[in-house]
Structure 1
Amino acid sequence: MPVEDRLLVIACGAIAREVLAVTKLNRLDHVDLTCLPAIWHVYPAKIAPAMREQIKAAREKGYRRIFIGYAECGTQGQLDKICAEEGVERIEGPHCYAFFTGNERFMAGIDTEFTAFYLTDLITRQFEAFVIEPLKLDKHPELRDMVFGNYTKIVYLAQTDDPALQEKARWAADYLKLDYEYRFTGYGDLEPALQRAALPHQ
């Protein structure tokens, strides 16, 4: 299939596995994937400028169909501004925790969950790199209570049924001295969003 008829998903590296799993599950063989660094989850100001460059580079390669595999993700409206200017769509929602849960369901419960710290498969798998090291909790454990003192629980939003990751999430909750809750979400709104984006070009 010529590149102009393929769909390029420009996604956060934190959901790369999930995007690939959805495309494989749904036999979306005409979908390509490129990612920005997953660690930018911690530095959202970097996302929007890099996204504009990625869209430009994709079009120079011949892609006419582009879908953004990011929610708003703390970009303070900048990502939506770029999407509007470039004529591309992104997955709906404020962040991946919402679209994995299902945006409507997540927003319905947000008023009672403002003291929850969320994990996904990726953040659980790389808890040290995404939480402990950036916050320097390994070197300054006294910061743990300063940073997480207002949280009451860790909620692990699991995309896969992986006992090893469940054990790691429990360990993370113990490390932060928080209660633990497990919720299996699967791919949530990500799957139908990719299915729609990958429909044959009209």
Structure 2
Amino acid sequence: MVQAQGWPVDVHPLPPLLHNRPQLIAREVEALVEQLRPAYGSVAVGYADCGTYGALDEVCERLGVRRLAGLHCYDVFAGAPQVEALLEDQPGTYLLTDFLVRSFARTVEQELGLDRYPELLGDYFGHYTRVVWLAQSDDATELAALRPLAQDAADRLGLPLQVVPTGAEGLSRALRTLLPEEAPCPP
């Protein structure tokens, strides 16, 4: 997205599996910010709170850097009001992003051990009532390719799938707030 927007930004990702161990996110972000600071005039954090329960905010405040707003990436993609409405409607909602749809076998099944211990499925997901895929892609071909993967993830959990198209605008808006004011921001 950064490249497509023409933003003067370098992206330095952390491992996505940190989301499975949110207690490590703040420490890893701090180390990366400290590493990058000497080479950049401005550093921002492309994480929402992501389950750190404020630990990431403490790091960002101490280091004087901004992060994406929201409790989690779902807020970034769909907007906090829509996520709240989905969860209020059915508290047992399991949310998927495009990333999770693509990597479900690795990031969910393998990481939770369900590939080795399928009997744990009920322990982990027994109280869920549906899967909601927050579909970010605006590309019809990509959405068509991801749809069967999302359905497969829901089927593996034994839950019905609901697709909520969010597009990429929420992420684009959120990222734009992290850009320095002098950076060009095409509409």
Give the TM-score, by structure 2 length: 0.89
Which residue does the alignment assign to 2:174? 193
1:139 equivalent to 2:101? Answer: no
Find the residue that maps to 2:163 and give its secondary structure. strand
Q: Distance in 2 between matches of 1:45 and 1:176?
A: 26
Q: Distance in 2 between matches of 1:186 and 1:55?
A: 29
Q: Is the 8 A contact 1:102 1:188 kept in 2?
A: no
Structure 1 residue 108 displacement after superposition: 4.2
Match of 2:20 among 42, 48, 64: 42
1:166 equivalent to 2:143? Answer: no
Structure 1 residue 58 displacement after superposition: 1.0
Structure 1 residue 109 displacement after superposition: 4.1
Which residue does the alignment assign to 2:84? 107
Which residue does the alignment assign to 1:156? 133
Q: Distance in 1 between matches of 2:86 and 2:133?
A: 15
Q: Is the 8 A contact 2:86 2:93 kept in 1?
A: no
How many residues end up aligned between the 2 structures? 178
Q: 1:155 to 1:57 in 2, by over 3 A?
A: same
1:26 equivalent to 2:35? Answer: no
Name whichever structure is richer in strand by fraction.
1
Q: Distance in 1 between matches of 2:177 and 2:157?
A: 39
Which residue does the alignment assign to 1:58? 36
Q: Which runs of 5+ in 2 are unaligned?
A: none
Name whichever structure is richer in helix by fraction.
2
Structure 1 residue 43 displacement after superposition: 0.7
CA-to-aligned-CA distance 1:53-106 (integer Å, 9 cap, x gap): 111111122x12111100000112110001111111111100011110012332
Which residue does the alignment assign to 2:157? 176
Amino acid at match of 1:65: S
Q: Distance in 1 between matches of 2:86 and 2:149?
A: 25
Greater mean deviation of Cα atoms: 130-139 or 104-113: 104-113
Greater mean deviation of Cα atoms: 108-117 or 33-42: 108-117
Q: Please, what is the CA RMSD of the aligned residues?
A: 1.5
